Structure 1
Amino acid sequence: MNWTAELGSSHGRRLLKGVLDDGREVFAKTGAASEVFASEAAGLRWLGEAIVVPEVLEVGPDRLVLSWVREEAPSAAAAERFGRSLAGLHRAGAADFGAPWPGFIAELPMDNSPCPDWPGFYASRRVLPFLRQARLPASDVALVERAVERFAEVAGPAEPPSRIHGDLWNGNVLWSGGSGVLIDPAAHGGHRETDLAMLALFGLPYLDRVLGAYQEEFPLAEGWRERVPLHQLHPLLVHVVLFGGSYRDGLMNAVRAVLAL
């Protein structure tokens, strides 16, 4: 393999572009030995059973090598195709709320052990562990804990586990081949509204087209728009842990919206 370009770094990992002996272009992440690469590879392979993702070419404790994704400009038509593909991914389902591999979001570990229902999974495996790491004032912690107590009440109709990306912000959707290609997953069996809420959190080109096509393919339960802040609590807490208080206002606005449901 010949490395042709340095692409910077992300969460302590070096990013590279290379070319294999057979001429195929590849993307690689390298870094200190970690379970992160095996977790990402497992998630990509699982998602790849139902949606387009890069091919996992090599995975080891200190690197992950993927097929190169040739990016193109997003379009309304590509967004609609992506919306239908995302609906198909979610409909593919999962055995449990959780996953049979260790979870990570960025470099932060996540507990993927299974839970019998989504509100319990979201509270015990996603929100509360990151709340304990967030170093928020006691008054903020108390409000978040009040919101957690309401999860079962405000989560909407119960649904079976969906096969979700788990960290589906704009930067983890590459536009290629006339649709979206998913990268950098925190994949697990979860609630499908979580992926859609994450797309809305930091914006996605043609998001209205994505959601419209998704709704035609796999309609969401009534009230899903009002539940967006519920599903944004975890990613906002992750950002507070990683980047500090600049995300506190967004988090607490979401908490208050959940308390108002």
Structure 2
Amino acid sequence: MLLKIEDSDRAFNNEISSTKMSQQELDLVKKLFAFSGGQHSGEASPELGTAYLVMGQYEKALSEFNILVKNAKQRVFAAKNILRCYIGMATLEDAILQYNIWTVSGQFSYDDLAKVYSFLQNILIKRNSKEFIPKPSPEKKAKNEKPQEDEYLDLLSIKINPDNNDRKNTAISLDVEFQKGNVFSVILPKKESPIIEMMKAGKTIKNVEITATSVVFQENCLIAGKRVIKKGPQKGQSFIILKILES
């Protein structure tokens, strides 16, 4: 049965020789570990990097893993072993420095960096280290990047203040009838004809109070469309389509 790499410090055991590894030793270590996929000529090898690491050839192992970490499929595996190399060389501060560089490099996804964080944090705890490493933060969208549809909260209702000088400025509440991302619809009762007249396509309604499943917030909304319902139980009412504008 092929041996698996254990999550222990045996790779860093001081009894492992740091002298030059012979081809026989290299072949032996490569046979002891199971890896999926083969090595392509000219590419870094997870087998070779692991062999160097296990045999105490930390600098050579670093050379292999520093190339492998550029490969998204090997990134977490390589990153953990890079940290193992630094720890094996008794340079914990270099391991922490490398992790801090990764946190700002943009090279790692949140999920991958979280795995590396957990790995290094557990090592620090085990070694009773007081060193602090920053916990990864969930990825944020760029300001000009539109959120995906399923990232929006479920909207329940809205409250608007009519902009009409002919009537008392009384807020009205409307249930959200349908929602797709940041676009939703409401139905205005026929009795609210002054508001219906005010709501013209292309106009922006400011400070709409929006109630979602877990929060109440205010945003400006664009009137994307409006029409009078001609048939059905809502006949005579007005169908308004609104779009939440980004702040």
**What TM-score results when the alignment is normalised by the length of structure 1?**
0.26
Kindly name which structure, 1 or 2, has the bigger radius of gyration based on alpha carbons.
Answer: 2
Greater RCO (CA < 8 Å, at least 6 residues apart): 1
Higher helix share: 1
